[in-house]
Structure 1
């Protein structure tokens, strides 16, 4: 099961995504670790949930690594659950 959506856009150099992340932003650590450049555009969250939907833009050359990092996100340990 995927935790991201590839959005339609007519950009030549980048791909737009929306993905689900924990309130402690676990995916950010993976992006930094694997040197994936991500431009964050916004986020959406509910007050009663520990999860957020993040909207971002990734260079086309980094898109494959971005998707691989999100696939590894389910293996991250959240420790204590924090509020989003």
Structure 2
């Protein structure tokens, strides 16, 4: 099973959108976490929360806040401007 726990800093406050079918709230925010090795750049992820968690994220989380997040890590394929595709963790 895919499971991770990260200590992160919020770099983009949560924004909420809703699904078309049943209007389920979905919150998305960008976070940064410290590198594992000295000299490496910090890592960045998009964090997604659904339902009641999405509402809580929107109401309670702000830029610069440090959080402990827990969940599944997923890789998404995103199109780039040059026509190529790149994988991003979410």
Could you say which structure has the higher helix fraction? 1
> TM-score if structure 2 supplies the norm length?
0.35
* Bigger-Rg structure (1/2): 2
